[in-house]
């Protein structure tokens, strides 16, 4: 099954409502998924996706599309679509990093692998350990009142835990967290995500107040490069610490483990270079006693499906829920992924490949540009 063409589709999709993050990112009003269709000589088409944010990694929606058009897609034409190891070797020879761009091709080829075999990808990865997974909701809010109201609204949707976005003013954010705790009750798991918003002193100040709310996790308080600072934060606070922006590759994972900088890895399949590279990180984490939180980049359903297929085979899963609500935050789901969500849980797909289809009529409304690379 040879690759005959690569279709690159850039989109822009509104969030509904906009999402308030740390001071590093501000308010996010749109997401910019890049959709890839890998066409083959037997007529099968595989779907991939990535969702680059400016400032989250070194990649942007523009660089992803450029690298795919001019570097990666021309190099893989004619290659065997199901030889994923060789495809990675080819992509790595061309580009040393650019994990998000490579991840689109990886996902699409796993989708093709499953479609050719007539089974979901999670069966090809060893078989599912779970029939469904609990979903973690997420909120942001400027004031304690806003945060509490948003938390109650999100909890009412049936989500099993809640990620509270912080990373602005340490004291005000801590007051928001305490208000959320009072609103949702003492047993509802709270994850606090600062998205690189603070330096070490500010993060310590925040958590010294917010730990009164008994959060179950404190994610990425410091800038991505400050692994030593994350390790110091972990040593100094009573809340487990997770890394997200610091974790972009297998080499990053090894550096984090070496410094004992995290209790939990926040894995995002597009950020981490696709299914193959993400599973390497998952397996390394398992060997070192680190749990995996499957998180999202405000992505559409292709990436969510790729992530779900991985989570279903992962032994060292974080127990408090995972970010499979992303398409529901957007103006529209351009895939069938949302149909897998019921009562605050996401269920294993049964269709071959990643288990989702593109809704072409919906996708068409959000296309910014479309390019086909072929011989």
Distance CA 160, CA 154 (A): 10
**What is the C-alpha to C-alpha distance for residues 305 and 349, in angstroms, rounded to an integer?**
8
Assign domain 124-347 to a CATH class: alpha beta
For CA atoms 347, 154, 218, 275, give the dihedral sign: positive
Q: Residue 212 — pLDDT band, cuts 50, 70, 90?
A: very high
Residue 141 confidence (pLDDT) above 80: no
Task: Give the model confidence (pLDDT) of 215-272 as tens digits.
Answer: 999 999 999 999 999 999 999 999 999 999 999 999 999 999 999 999 999 999 999 9
> For position 19, what pLDDT does the model report?
82
Tens digit of pLDDT for each residue in 87-102? 999 999 998 889 999 9
The single residue listed with the structure tokens 């696709």 is 274
Helix, coil or strand: residue 254? helix
pLDDT digits (tens, 9 = 90+) for 266-316: 999 999 999 999 999 999 999 999 999 999 988 999 999 999 999 999 999
Q: Is the dihedral of CA 62, 14, 324, 155 positive or negative?
A: positive
Nearest to 270 by CA among 30, 15, 14, 35: 35
Residue 45: its H or E element = strand 45-50
Q: Per-residue confidence at 83, pLDDT binned at 50, 70, 90?
A: very high
d(CA 174, CA 327): 28
CA 210/CA 212 separation, integer angstroms: 5
State the CATH architecture for 3-118+358-374.
2-Layer Sandwich (3.30)
Q: b vs e for 124-141, b when ≥16 Cβ sit within 10 Å of the residue's Cβ?
A: bbeebeeebbbbbbbbbb
Domain boundaries, the chain: 3-118+358-374, 124-347
Q: Whole-angstrom Cα distance, residue 58 to residue 364?
A: 28
Burial of 226 (0-12, 13-18, 19+ CB in 10 A): middle
| pLDDT single digits (tens) 99-140 | 999 999 999 999 999 999 999 999 999 999 999 999 999 998
Which of 188, 108, 6, 171 shows the shortest CA–CA distance to 358? 108
Do 196 and 227 contact (CB within 8 A), yes or no?
no
pLDDT tens for each residue of 34-80:
999 999 999 999 999 999 988 788 899 999 999 999 999 999 999 99
The pTM is what?
Answer: 0.96
Closest CA to 137 of 334, 332, 328, 337: 328
């Amino acid at each position: 099954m040879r690759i005959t063409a690569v279709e690159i589709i850039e989109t822009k999709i509104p969030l509904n409502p906009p999402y308030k993050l740390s001071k590093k990112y501000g308010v996010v009003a749109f997401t910019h998924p890049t959709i890839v269709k890998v066409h083959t000589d037997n007529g099968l088409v595989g779907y991939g996706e990535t969702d680059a944010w400016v400032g989250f990694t070194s990649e942007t929606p523009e660089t992803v599309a450029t690298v795919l058009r001019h570097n990666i897609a021309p190099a893989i034409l004619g290659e065997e679509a199901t030889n994923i190891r060789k495809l990675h070797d080819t992509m790595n020879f061309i580009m040393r990093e650019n994990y998000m761009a490579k991840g689109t091709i990886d996902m699409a080829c796993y989708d093709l692998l499953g479609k050719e075999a007539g089974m979901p990808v999670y069966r090809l990865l060893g078989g599912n350990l779970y029939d469904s997974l609990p979903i973690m909701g997420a909120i942001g809010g400027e004031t304690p009142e806003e945060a509490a109201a948003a938390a109650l609204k999100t909890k009412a949707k049936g989500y099993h835990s809640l990620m509270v976005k912080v990373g602005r003013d340490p004291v005000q954010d801590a007051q928001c967290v305490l208000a959320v705790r009072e609103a949702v009750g003492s047993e509802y798991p709270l994850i606090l995500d600062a998205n690189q918003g603070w330096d070490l002193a500010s993060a310590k100040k925040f958590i010294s107040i917010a730990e009164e709310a008994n959060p179950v996790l404190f994610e990425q308080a410091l800038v991505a490069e400050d692994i030593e600072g994350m390790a110091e934060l972990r040593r100094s606070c009573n809340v487990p610490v997770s890394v997200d922006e610091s974790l972009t590759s297998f080499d990053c994972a090894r550096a984090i483990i070496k410094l004992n900088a995290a209790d939990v890895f926040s894995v995002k399949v597009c950020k981490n270079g696709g299914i193959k590279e993400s599973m390497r990180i998952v397996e390394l984490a398992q060997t070192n006693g680190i749990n995996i939180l499957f998180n999202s980049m405000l992505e559409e359903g292709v990436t969510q499906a790729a992530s779900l297929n991985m989570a279903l085979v992962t032994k060292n899963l974080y127990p408090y829920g995972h970010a499979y609500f992303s398409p529901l935050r957007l103006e529209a789901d351009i895939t069938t992924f949302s149909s897998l969500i019921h009562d605050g849980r996401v269920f294993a797909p049964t269709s071959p490949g990643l288990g989702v289809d593109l809704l072409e009529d919906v996708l068409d409304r959000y296309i910014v540009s479309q390019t086909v690379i072929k011989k």
